[in-house]
Amino acid sequence: MPKVKPGSTRTYDKEGYRLRAAAICVRDPNENEVLLVSSTIDSDKWVMPGGGVEPWEDPESAALREAYEEAGIRGHVIGRHGIVEDASRRERTWVFSLGVVQLLNTWPESERLGRKRKWFDLDDARNCLALYKPFQVKCLEAMLR
């Protein structure tokens, strides 16, 4: 069953796909490390920050908001990598890479949900995501094209 955040509204395109945004957070332009966050379901599993696009947002703003809420980062978009579709879940995800400018000591989901964050090299990130969130591997690969 999908999670529903209080105060959030699911948005859909004309074809009935849920609109989402993913934030691939990097600390340098070489993009050889990415920041993942612990899952809210299993804190030993790692996921990419991301979530639904709110009705008042564009996908880029959603990626920045999700990176702040889930990972406690302030940053700026350094890459736009298109849309990755998950037909089985009827979701379309805009993928952005974000240059991290600031790592906050506490952030909304660290306090409320106990989320952790950790830097991974690309291979380790791919392996972690493949085990728990295989769709997010496609998002990561969109950045590497």
| Active-site residue, selected from the candidate residues 54, 66, 69, 70 | 69
List Cβ neighbours of 83 (8 Å cut-off, separation of 6 or more): 92, 93, 94, 95
Query: What's the full length of the chain, in residues?
Result: 145
List Cβ neighbours of 36 (8 Å cut-off, separation of 6 or more): 46, 47, 48, 117, 118, 120, 125, 128, 129
- Distance CA(117)–CA(37), nearest Å, equals 4
- Distance CA(94)–CA(143), nearest Å, equals 11
Q: Is 69 a catalytic residue?
A: yes
Residues annotated as catalytic (active site), given as ranges:
69
